[in-house]
Amino acid sequence: MREEPWEPPAVLVAVDLVILTLRASALHVLLVQRGVEPHQGELALPGGFLQHSGEGLLTAARRELREEADLDAARLHLEQLGAYGTPDRDSRGRVISVAYLAIAPGLPEPVAGTDAVGACWMPVDGVLAGRTRLAFDHAAIVADGVERARSKLESSALATAFCAERFSISELQLVYEAVWGVRLDPRNFYRKVQGVRGFIAAAGSDRRTTGGRPARLFRAGPTTVLNPPLTRPDPPQASEESR
């Protein structure tokens, strides 16, 4: 760091959240409708400015998670995505946003206790395809978050963060299929997942059923890096059908 005689410019720092979850086998992101200008009424990521100059970035992310989504950060996966600082991204002046990615298990239904106007889960497909328009550069941030989730499913135990505390192997498979957008063979998936040491651990011989044979239940294991990794099958060779 070099020092110079001039004063460096002070900027505003916001923290925005990309909260992903699985609903009806599709990946969804939590969006709020903005109550004030700029971009009033438009959809945006939940977030807000640093509250006081002693607040850490991660602390602020956890606070927003609680305030805007009524989610308990202690139970969620939460990691930093990156900083977004294009000069003209916010008409109020120089605002740099530090984005965080959170993964939530499928919640009962609507997001309760939200103090933002109209929070809702939106399918990410629409956002990625540009059909769902977002304020600021938030669509790009969502795209980065989804891409991060897709790639981390391969090499980390992130998938368990989409599940409730106890889950069956086929529920875990649904996570992979929804996030990657592929179909997997349940039988091979079953053994593959069990073959990764520390990924999942048997959780009581308890079992609930939905019509067939009851499934064994598991909970997230101690491992966070998958070894061997679960490899994503390459999409079926887009030939003339593409685009």
Q: Which two tokens stand for residue 194?
A: 């069990």
**Residue (of 81, 68, 74, 72) closest to 34 by Cα position:** 68
Establish if 234 lies at the interface with a second copy (CB under 8 A): yes
Task: DSSP letter for 134, please.
Answer: B
Torsion sign (Cα): 12, 130, 71, 58: negative
Beta bridge pairs of residue 97: 14, 84
Among the listed ranges 23-31, 32-40, 164-172, 211-219, the one in contact with a second copy (CB under 8 A) is 32-40
Q: Which is nearer to DNA, 63 or 232 (CB)?
A: 232
**Residue (of 228, 77, 80) closest to 161 by Cα position:** 77
**Residue (of 105, 102, 109, 139) closest to 124 by Cα position:** 139
Pattern of binders to DNA over 144-183, x per CB under 7 A?
------------------------xxx-------------
Reply yes or no: is the peptide bond before residue 236 cis, omega within 30 of 0: no
**Residue (of 47, 32, 61) closest to 90 by Cα position:** 47
Q: Which of 26, 48, 76, 219 binds a second copy (CB under 8 A)?
A: 48
- Taking the CA atoms of the chain, what radius of gyration do you get in angstroms? 20
Residue 63's binding partner among a second copy, DNA, none (Cβ under 5 to 8 angstroms by kind) is none
- Closest distance between a second copy and the C-beta of residue 91, in Å? 12
- Closest distance between a second copy and the C-beta of residue 94, in Å? 4
Among the listed ranges 15-23, 30-38, 151-159, 187-195, the one in contact with DNA (CB under 7 A) is 187-195
Q: Which of 215, 219, 221, 224 binds DNA (CB under 7 A)?
A: 215
Which residues within the stretch 92-121 sit at the binding site for a second copy (CB under 8 A)?
93-94, 96, 98, 115-116
Tell me which residues touch a second copy (CB under 8 A). Answer: 1-3, 8-14, 16, 34-36, 44-45, 47-57, 67-68, 80, 82-83, 85-87, 93-94, 96, 98, 115-116, 227, 234
